[in-house]
Amino acid sequence: MQRVECEIARLIKEVDYDEVTHLFNKLAGGKRLRAKLILKIASKHPKAPLLAAIVELIHAASLLHDDVIDEATIRRGAESVNATDGSKVAIMLGDILYSKAFTELVGFDKDIAKVISSSVTALSKGEMQDVKMADEFNEDEDKYLDMLYLKTATLIEAAAYGAALLEDKDAKKHAIYGRNLGLSFQIVDDILDITADAATLGKPAMNDFVEGKCTLPYIYLYKELDKKDRLRLKSLHAKSIDEEETLWIKSKMQKHGSIEKSFLLAKKLSQDAMNAIKGDEELTQILQTMIKRSY
């Protein structure tokens, strides 16, 4: 991971603009899940740290744009770039990170470059779907999971696939692993948005619903409610909700097991990921660590 951080620093320095270096250094690094995944799969390949750095730049760029779209002021416990320097600067910084990543990506085998770049198209499509879905309450589980795959899982899937190609491993099996890891990871994040406190999340609790996002626990809850409570839940969608309304939602979720049902799906997806790479203890450990995050 030290080599990955050095590669990231080198790529940012090569942009040759002090303002970009300053702004990028303000960004919190996060879990570096995608980088760690690449290093685990292609641990012996000398270009693995560079590929990991490229994917992390892409991920950082997507988060910068995501914060502008969501008008988020907090990211990983710190003020977002759009909050401190404005949305225009955040968008341009994201564009620079994307373009720098693609500039470096062309130095890899064309199949690796294609799968990573294609995943960014899918990611952007997923982001657009997410925005459109926030216009009204979504009760369609399949529609939500399709969007989640595009917005979150595709880049993780591509990272696993590309790393496997780099190390001459079974790319299809690793792609299945990456896809299911990405989906289960995001579902656990959706759960934590409801169950964890603001200090743990690094953003306001239950922020997803306030932004108009109907994640799985809300979809599962809606299916169990009577007509009166369904109307009440819908009336709270995409609005700032007070403590009484928050407690009402959480009590109904507890009554109907909405959180537990969401977690069961995350566990199933994790098991599917483990089945794809049977015998790889390090990749299994990544899954187990992810699924055990407290909720």
Band of residue 29 on the pLDDT scale cut at 50, 70, 90: confident
Is the distance from CB of 55 to CB of 61 less than 8 angstroms? no
User: pTM for the full model?
Assistant: 0.94
Encoded tokens for 91: 């968008």
- Separation between Cα atoms, residue 173 and residue 192, nearest integer Å: 29
What is 75-91 written as a DSSP string? ETTEE-HHHHH-HHHHH
Alpha-carbon dihedral sign for residues 251, 254, 255, 258: positive
- Separation between Cα atoms, residue 164 and residue 191, nearest integer Å: 30
Residue spans of the domains in the chain: they are 1-30+48-107, 121-295
Q: How far is CA 36 from CA 3, 4, 280, 283, 286, in A?
A: 12, 9, 14, 10, 9
Q: List pLDDT tens digits, range 61-85.
A: 999 999 999 898 888 878 999 999 9
User: Distance from CA of residue 199 to its chain's centroid?
Assistant: 19
DSSP one-letter code for 74: E
Q: List pLDDT tens digits, range 245-259.
A: 999 999 999 999 999
Question: CATH for 121-295, among 1.10.357.10, 1.10.600.10, 2.40.50.140, 3.40.367.20?
Answer: 1.10.600.10
Domain 1-30+48-107 has CATH 3.30.420.40: no
What pLDDT, on a 0 to 100 scale, did the predictor assign at position 291? 86
Question: In terms of Cα–Cα distance, which of 183, 191, 170 is closest to 271?
Answer: 183
- Same CATH topology for 1-30+48-107 and 121-295: the answer is yes
Q: List pLDDT tens digits, range 164-205.
A: 999 999 999 999 999 999 999 999 999 999 998 876 666 677
Q: What is the mean pLDDT of residues 1-20?
A: 97
> What sections of the chain are H helices per DSSP?
2-14, 18-26, 33-41, 48-70, 81-85, 87-105, 110-133, 141-148, 154-166, 171-195, 198-201, 207-210, 216-224, 227-236, 243-256, 258-276, 281-291
- Separation between Cα atoms, residue 105 and residue 155, nearest integer Å: 14
- Separation between Cα atoms, residue 173 and residue 70, nearest integer Å: 34
